């Protein structure tokens, strides 16, 4: 792991405004800076950068983070590489740390893994020129030299140690770190890719981070991908995205297919806005990354059972990242076709006509759920609501959620209000939200959580305040209280900033909650002075609502065995302080 102290120093040294401005033109807007978001298409700016808090947030697509996050998303790097990139720009040297397979960074020190991958790519491309069988295979698939060059397609010759001619130090750790070789039994090393068409996988800035190799004839596996490496994380990457970026923005859509050849064949026929997953199922990260490029994603699958399963999984992972201005669609090809064979047989126009008729997510959602139950029976209608409930609750787009709820209600023969109550979705009833009857008295637990959220907002706005949070106000029985405890645990860090807090807690259970609270700052513009005033008011409110537990402790002791003189004085003082607090006016809530 990279030491926390290094990450803290790095974030305190880098100015996020300077970093973002290298890539995006920022405009001053009050205490912050704004711009059109670099992660999705928009006409009016919704991307905001806070110099005081050292983070960015887009109110359009939801992209957010600190300097490390920005480098990861904008340049398409993994976490370690993003930290290294940022450290290099700040003149800092990444320290040794435990990483892949227990090897330290020092073992590959001085070796640029990107350069190793580039050298391997050039070797494979050269080998293709002298491989008649590989050339014949590509020509048989209808590819021209222009398209092959665009995707830097190459060939890995048959043989066990061909890369030794390219890398004289064949035993170097870097070759293993790049996934180019395998260490077999007895310490014998050999090339991972042999007798395969090679498809380089690029990150968002166009650097080679991995390879996909396809067998020329029969054989298993049909496709072989690079393993997870310091450069390559399959669940984050999409084949062809680097080449498709401009076409995606021009077309206003992206097509997601399943294979390398599908992407290449579509590009050969002028459909250059296609990408492919890398031998893995669609992930939420894939969907988020694509929504930052365009507002419409079309998943294209075979029409067989496997294709429909893959489509349903893509639907499920898309639900939490949907927005009402975004669209997900599904295109099912005839059972005998994949995108490659279809576009070669029927041409670009026919394929784009199919794209225009792709099924919206809402239509596929309802049709699939209805197919799982017997809609002719009351039991089937009831089960439809049961099946829809967890899916509807995951939809992040409120308008779409409500529309789908209406459709489920109609199909099930119940009212929208009844469906809303059964699925526990608020705001489902026309004209008023569906919610439990309000409690007769104040809901103490809810009010305590609200106060803790306000306190968290103050601490994120002005982190040094963590040192002043009294221990007795922390209640770890709910998520807000546990997040508060985690922040207080950071009070030993000397240069504690907002960006450092979020970085140190990025993998914790508190990250999602803190990110939601953080986005409020950009609307409320809470400066240090306001944060201090709010902090004092919230601490007072918490103490008034939750009296000092020491009072209860001393009271119980007094009834049980009596108090010492010192304890009697303390008991009297605490009771007086508590009574004074109750007489004060409850401060208005202005934070959340």
**3-state SS string for 500-564:** HHHHHCCCCCCHHHHHHHHHHHHHHCCCHHHHHHHHHHHHHHHHHHCCCHHHHHHHHHHHHCCCC
Bridge partners of residue 257, in order along the sequence: 276
- What band does 583 get if pLDDT is binned at 50, 70 and 90? low
Rg (CA), the chain: 29
Among 366, 417, 371, which residue's Cα sits nearest to residue 392? Answer: 366
**By C-alpha distance, which of 505, 518, 484, 502 is closest to 11?**
502
CATH number of 109-225: 3.90.980.10
Question: What single DSSP character describes residue 34?
Answer: E
Q: pLDDT tens digit string along 329-376?
A: 999 998 888 899 999 999 999 999 999 999 999 999 999 999 999 999
Residue 56's DSSP bridge partners are 49, 65
> What is the architecture of the domain spanning 372-423?
Up-down Bundle (1.20)
Q: Which two tokens stand for residue 276?
A: 């492919």
Q: What is the pTM of this model?
A: 0.63
pLDDT at 332: 94
**Predicted confidence (pLDDT) at residue 97 exceeds the cutoff of 70:** no
Looking at residue 490, its pLDDT comes to 80
pLDDT digits (tens, 9 = 90+) for 116-126: 999 999 999 99
Domain boundaries, the chain: 4-95, 109-225, 241-359, 372-423, 444-583
Q: What is the mean pLDDT of residues 42-70?
A: 84
Q: What CATH number does domain 241-359 carry, 3.40.50.720, 3.40.1360.10, 3.40.50.2300, 3.40.50.1100?
A: 3.40.1360.10
Could you name the CATH architecture of 4-95?
Alpha-Beta Complex (3.90)
Q: Rounded to whole angstroms, how far apart are CA atoms 298 and 254?
A: 6
Taking 90 as the threshold, does the pLDDT of residue 477 lie above it?
Answer: no
Under 8 Å between Cβ of 186 and 126: no
- List the single range of 36-45, 216-225, 493-502 with lowest mean pLDDT: 493-502
CATH 1.10.860.10 fits 444-583, yes or no: yes
Contact residues for 76 (Cβ-Cβ < 8 A; gap 6+): 203, 204, 205, 237, 241, 242
What rounded mean pLDDT belongs to the chain? 83
Cβ-proximal residues to 244 (8 Å cutoff; 6+ apart), any chain = 254, 263, 267, 272, 273, 274, 275
Give the integer Cα–Cα distance in Å for 589 and 17: 31
- The C-alpha atoms of residue 303 and residue 280 are separated, in whole angstroms, by 19
What sections of 224-360 are H helices per DSSP? 241-251, 260-268, 284-291, 305-318, 339-346, 348-356
pLDDT confidence of residue 107? 41
Q: Answer yes or no: same fold for 4-95 and 109-225.
A: no
d(CA 311, CA 300): 8
Q: In angstroms, rounded to a whole number, what is the distance separating the alpha carbons of residues 347 and 349?
A: 6
């Amino acid at each position: 792991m990279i030491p926390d102290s290094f990450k803290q120093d790095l974030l305190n040294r880098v100015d996020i405004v300077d970093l973002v401005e290298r890539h995006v033109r920022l405009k001053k807007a009050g205490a912050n800076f704004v711009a059109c978001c670099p992660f999705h298409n928009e006409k009016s700016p919704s991307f905001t950068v806070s110099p005081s808090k050292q983070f960015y947030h887009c109110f359009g697509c939801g992209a957010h983070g600190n300097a490390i996050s920005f480098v990861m998303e904008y340049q398409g790097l993994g976490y370690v590489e993003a930290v290294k990139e940022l450290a290099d720009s700040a003149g800092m040297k990444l320290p040794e740390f435990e990483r892949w397979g227990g090897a330290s960074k020092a073992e590959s020190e001085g070796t640029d893994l990107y350069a190793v991958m580039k050298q391997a790519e050039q070797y494979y491309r050269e080998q293709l020129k002298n491989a008649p069988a590989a050339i014949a295979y590509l020509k048989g698939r209808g590819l021209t030299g222009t398209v092959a060059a665009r995707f830097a397609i190459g060939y890995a010759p048959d043989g066990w140690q061909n890369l030794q001619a390219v890398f004289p130090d064949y035993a170097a750790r870097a070759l293993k770190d790049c996934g180019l070789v395998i260490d077999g039994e007895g310490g014998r090393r050999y090339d991972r890719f042999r007798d395969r068409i090679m498809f380089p996988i690029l990150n968002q800035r166009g650097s080679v981070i991995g390879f996909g190799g396809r067998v020329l004839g029969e054989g298993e596996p049909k496709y072989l991908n690079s393993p997870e490496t310091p450069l390559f994380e399959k669940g984050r990457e999409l084949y062809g995205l680097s080449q498709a970026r401009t076409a995606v923005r021009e077309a206003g859509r992206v097509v997601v297919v399943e294979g390398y050849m599908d992407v290449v064949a579509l590009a050969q026929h002028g459909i250059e806005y296609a990408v492919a997953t890398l031998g893995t199922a669609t992930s939420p990260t894939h969907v988020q990354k694509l929504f930052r490029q365009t507002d419409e994603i079309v998943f294209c699958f075979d029409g067989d059972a496997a294709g429909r399963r893959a489509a349903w999984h893509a639907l499920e992972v898309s639900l939490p990242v949907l927005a009402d201005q975004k669209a997900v669609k599904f295109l099912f090809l005839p059972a005998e076709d994949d995108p490659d064979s279809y576009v070669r047989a029927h041409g670009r126009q026919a394929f784009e006509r199919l794209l225009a008729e792709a099924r919206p997510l809402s239509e596929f959602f309802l049709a699939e759920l209805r197919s799982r139950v017997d809609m002719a029976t009351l039991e089937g209608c009831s089960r439809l609501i049961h099946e829809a409930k967890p899916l509807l609750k995951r939809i992040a787009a409120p308008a779409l959620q409500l529309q789908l709820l209406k459709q489920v209600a109609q199909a099930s023969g119940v009212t929208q209000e009844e469906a809303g109550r059964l699925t526990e979705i608020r705001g489902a009833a026309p004209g008023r939200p569906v919610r439990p009857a309000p409690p007769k008295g104040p809901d103490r637990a809810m009010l305590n959580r609200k106060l803790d959220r306000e306190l968290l907002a103050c601490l994120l706005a002005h982190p040094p305040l963590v040192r002043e949070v009294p221990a007795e106000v922390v209640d770890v029985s709910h998520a807000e209280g546990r997040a508060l405890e985690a922040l207080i645990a950071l009070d030993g860090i000397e240069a504690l900033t907002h960006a450092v807090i979020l970085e140190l807690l990025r993998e914790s259970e508190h990250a999602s909650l803190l990110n939601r609270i953080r986005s409020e700052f950009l609307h409320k513009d809470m400066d240090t002075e306001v944060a201090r005033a709010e902090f004092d008011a919230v601490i007072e409110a918490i103490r008034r609502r939750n009296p000092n537990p020491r009072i209860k402790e001393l009271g119980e002791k007094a009834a049980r065995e009596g108090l010492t003189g010192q304890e009697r004085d303390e008991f009297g003082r605490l009771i007086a302080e508590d009574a004074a607090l109750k007489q004060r006016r409850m401060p208005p809530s202005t934070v959340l």
